[in-house]
Structure 1
Amino acid sequence: MQDQPFRVIVIGAGPAGLYLARALGGAKIDYVRGNHLLLFPHTIRLLHQIGLYDDAKKRSYKLRRKIDMTKSGYVLSDYAMWHLLEERHGYPTLPIQRYDVLEMLYKSIPNGKRLIKTGAKAMSIKETDQGVAVELEDGTVETGSVVIGADGVHGMTKKYIEEAMSKNTTEATDTTLFYTPTASQYYSIYAEGTNTKKIPSGIFYETRDTGRAIQLGADNDKLRIVMYRKLPQQMAGPVPYTAEQMEEFAEALFDMSVAPGVSLGEIWPDFHKHTARLVNQHEGFAKHWHTGRVVITSDASVCTSSVNGLGINCGLHSSHSLISFNKPCSRSSAGNPSTELLREAFARYQHIRARELKAIYNQAYSSMRQLTWDSWKDWFIDRFLRRWIGSDFLVRKYLNPLICKGQILSYVPFEEVSGPLQWKRTPGVPINENKNSEPLVVEQAQ
């Protein structure tokens, strides 16, 4: 198998999996609807590089301001956050539906319709020194050089790696890496509705209270909302909530303002209940990201709450980072690289990317608790200290540097946009891609 071309099998057809497929060259996928996302300027830049910027703008709208409020509607701050991010980095921040991102990426994949394989689900993984074999639900077996798991925090790829590493008594673990088990202390409703109250467009409203919070974005005719509540007790796995439980959840927040002069109870009937979702907010940092030929990325490796909107952005940039670390492997003169070469590349990827993500994970963890006033300290920080420091100081200190360090495909030149704050990574000279190396993406159906 050493003479075979380098072939990647991607498990999971979410945004990270499809971005991997688009960046690597092709895919076989199927997908379902999900929640809405917030794409920051460095991620819009990634979409621009692969020709999807104009499509993303058509499916979204520009955010300009962020308004922080208490449950009574008292405005704590009104900050032109999104306008200033675009002014400083050149690209806007776009709120967009998950299914729109999936559709954009899928349609951009070369020969996507010809390669699509519906109903595919990975059931098992086997790896040898020569390659990998993934058995699908229909009994077929796909072979390749590498498996990349983008199938989520509870996906089978992560479980495979955990089981394999628990049996491995010879390979040393990097004890300097951050690790925390995946658990849920909060749960949320994601919903989309009609803007019958004519709430102003382009504003991101964030309302806080003890144990609960609401984030609302308004377009001219649409509303997108995320509601947060603290769980009665910590949970370790996914929970299938009912429509009745979702209604009970929402009713507990009816008294909270979602915009000045408008409460959740007034607009909840305007939301589409058949597409709304009640889900747990998973938080966790995986200990093992890879074996010899199997590696995980996106929220399979690091899962944060959605409160700061950076989850999808981190997932796409992690996927890109993984591609960059494995470019030397895909261009190996032997065709199919050795397991040792791949293991070294995966270890470097985890070592560097984990350190980049640790700060983002910690920030999201703290933000969730500060927004829901989880303790007197969190209440004081959110209610007073943040207001005294000022939103712009926090954005300049933490968010602007993060955006400037966004990943980019070194081998895809394009006419990028920039602002006064320059990008730290820029495209290089195109390289010759292996035309025989098409990734296979397997959807993990729920």
Structure 2
Amino acid sequence: MEKPFRAVIIGAGPTGLALGNMLAAAHIDFVILERHDRVVTESGACIMLWPHSTRVLDQLGLLDAAAAESLGLHSKVTIDPLGRQQSEYPTFQWIGENHGYPTLHLPRTRLTKLLYEGLGEHRSKIKVSSSISAIDANEDGVCVTLSDGSMETGSIVIGCDGVHSHVREYTKADGVPFEASPQVTQFECLFGTASSIPGLQRGIFWESHSPGMVTQFGTSDKIAAFSLFRTLEETATEENRSYDTDSVPRFFKEHGENFIAPGFQVRDLQKHCTWTRLARQPEGSAKLWYHGRIVLCGESAVQMSSVMGMGFNAALQSAVCLANSLYEVTRQTSPNPTVEVLTGIFGDYQQRRETETVEIKDVSANYIRAMTSSSWLTMMVIKYLLPWLWGEKSMMKKLGTESISHGRTLSFIPYQDKHGLIPWRS
């Protein structure tokens, strides 16, 4: 008798948890292995959920909970290096009107907690303190050996373990030909949360641009979130990506004069911080997202700047695409598809998602280089030419028509769609 299909998901971050919610809804067995000792921890930048993502959360029954945890931002205000306002638009209100679903800004911890709680009884399928030491795959299935010597078996391994993917690295170590394009790391970001800042207007996404730096900041009545990007003096590598205990205080000191909102500077933010992390932002992509029974999803496959808030949205769309394919194959074939069948599924998955995801990566790369004046030509096009030709509202319509409206949904969950001015293409 054949064993039932079982997915071994590596990584209990937002992507792995979201995929777990999808597989649970599809009645596909899974286990999630997380190397940390807890699932919900302070980590990562504030995540912006675009409408094609909140649409998926609506399918999963999590939209109302996500809205309740959001910062409630409705407008975007840009300022210059001296703190003077340059523009103000109800950008997120327009986006909501275009698509029928809101844009939500959630601190990563809140999103992780939301997706974790969404698993309900399936939370027992998450195993923490589970570091990988080996992955073995053959014609019959996969076996993941953990650092404590225990093993998890299944039909496939899905690497949702982020930028510094262990799945990708261990697969290379075992001789499987995952060939990644070189990661470029030209920027780093100090992100974190703070207590609500008195005197600053609520509901505003503040963004400032200056040579070598971009700041992003928003506050609700209870919490504030920020991301401070800066250009590295030289391109970094994986080998020199560590920081010491003085890195964050030194960052605040070096950029204390930069404004993040009118009358409010980086140095003013420091005393309100409740949590911070300084991290580099690698940009790159794996040339092959799969091999045999192993497949990558999210930032383990494509890494991008978080400046446009598109990383998790791209990962969520990949998870939707993968979940739909797994649902279909487990209903049409034997409980445990052959390697040949899986190769076809994973190849189709990469073909559909790679072009879209790499395009998003490249747009994000162009945006941060423009806003930090790293590329003068790109800066002139993005900062001046496009707004002059299109205007902010028309640019949001163009983005919605060409990108957001093509967002995928889960094929196996019936639901009532919401609609805006721009029709959904799928």
- Relative to the length of structure 1, the TM-score reads 0.88
Moved more, 56-65 or 111-120: 111-120
Instruction: Give the 5 Å matches for 1:161-240.
Output: 161-163=171-173, 180-237=181-238, 239-240=241-242
2:271 partner SS: helix
1:33 corresponds in structure 2 to 42
1:150 corresponds in structure 2 to 160
Q: Separation in 2 of the partners of 1:399 and 1:419?
A: 11
Distance verdict in 2 for CA 1:321–1:206, change over 3 Å: same
Query: Is residue 30 of structure 2 the alignment partner of residue 21 of structure 1?
Result: no
Q: Separation in 2 of the partners of 1:387 and 1:264?
A: 28
Structure 2 unmatched runs, 5+: 25-29
Residue 150 of structure 1 and its aligned partner are, at CA, apart by: 0.4
Deviations 1:28-70 (A, max 9, x none): 5642321221111111111111111111111113221111121
Residue 18 of structure 1 and its aligned partner are, at CA, apart by: 0.7
Q: Separation in 2 of the partners of 1:165 and 1:124?
A: 12
Residue 376 of structure 1 and its aligned partner are, at CA, apart by: 2.7
Q: Separation in 2 of the partners of 1:246 and 1:400?
A: 40
Query: Is residue 392 of structure 2 the alignment partner of residue 391 of structure 1?
Result: yes
Q: Separation in 1 of the partners of 2:148 and 2:50?
A: 39
Q: Separation in 2 of the partners of 1:116 and 1:85?
A: 35
One-letter code aligned to 2:118 = S
One-letter code aligned to 2:169 = K
Residue 295 of structure 1 and its aligned partner are, at CA, apart by: 0.3
Deviations 1:216-244 (A, max 9, x none): 11212422110011112112227232331
1:72 corresponds in structure 2 to 82
Select 1:81's aligned residue among 73, 79, 91. Answer: 91
Residue 3 of structure 1 and its aligned partner are, at CA, apart by: 1.3
Question: Contact 1:71 / 1:207 at 8 angstroms: preserved in 2?
Answer: yes
Q: Separation in 2 of the partners of 1:361 and 1:42?
A: 17
Q: Separation in 1 of the partners of 2:175 and 2:124?
A: 37
Question: Contact 1:299 / 1:315 at 8 angstroms: preserved in 2?
Answer: yes
Question: Contact 1:373 / 1:382 at 8 angstroms: preserved in 2?
Answer: no
Moved more, 37-46 or 101-110: 101-110
Q: Separation in 1 of the partners of 2:12 and 2:260?
A: 33
2:403 partner SS: helix
1:245 corresponds in structure 2 to 247
Query: Is residue 51 of structure 2 the alignment partner of residue 51 of structure 1?
Result: no
Q: Separation in 2 of the partners of 1:254 and 1:221?
A: 24
**Deviation >4 Å, runs of 4+:** 26-30, 163-168
Question: Contact 2:76 / 2:205 at 8 angstroms: preserved in 1?
Answer: yes
Question: Contact 1:3 / 1:336 at 8 angstroms: preserved in 2?
Answer: yes
1:58 partner SS: helix
Q: Separation in 2 of the partners of 1:395 and 1:180?
A: 31
Moved more, 396-405 or 108-117: 108-117
One-letter code aligned to 1:58 = A
Q: Separation in 1 of the partners of 2:8 and 2:423?
A: 35
1:405 corresponds in structure 2 to 406
Question: Contact 2:21 / 2:119 at 8 angstroms: preserved in 1?
Answer: yes
Structure 1 unmatched runs, 5+: 174-178, 426-446
Question: Contact 1:90 / 1:419 at 8 angstroms: preserved in 2?
Answer: yes
2:262 corresponds in structure 1 to 260
One-letter code aligned to 1:299 = E
2:283 partner SS: strand
One-letter code aligned to 1:247 = P
Question: Contact 1:198 / 1:220 at 8 angstroms: preserved in 2?
Answer: no
Distance verdict in 2 for CA 1:139–1:340, change over 3 Å: same
1:220 partner SS: coil
Q: Separation in 1 of the partners of 2:377 and 2:156?
A: 46
Q: Separation in 2 of the partners of 1:117 and 1:221?
A: 32
One-letter code aligned to 1:155 = S
Q: Which has the higher contact order (CA 8 A, sep 6+)?
A: 1
Deviations 1:344-379 (A, max 9, x none): 111111111111112211100100101111133244
Distance verdict in 2 for CA 1:331–1:358, change over 3 Å: same
One-letter code aligned to 2:7 = V
Number of residue pairs matched by the alignment: 413
One-letter code aligned to 1:77 = S
1:142 partner SS: strand
Q: Separation in 1 of the partners of 2:322 and 2:149?
A: 29
One-letter code aligned to 1:414 = Y
One-letter code aligned to 2:290 = H
After superposition, the CA RMSD in angstroms is 2.0
Question: Contact 2:292 / 2:339 at 8 angstroms: preserved in 1?
Answer: yes
Question: Contact 2:15 / 2:160 at 8 angstroms: preserved in 1?
Answer: yes
2:27 corresponds in structure 1 to none
Deviations 1:259-308 (A, max 9, x none): 12222222321112xx2100001111111111010000100001110000
Distance verdict in 2 for CA 1:182–1:392, change over 3 Å: same
Residue 164 of structure 1 and its aligned partner are, at CA, apart by: 5.5
1:299 corresponds in structure 2 to 299
Q: Separation in 2 of the partners of 1:113 and 1:297?
A: 20
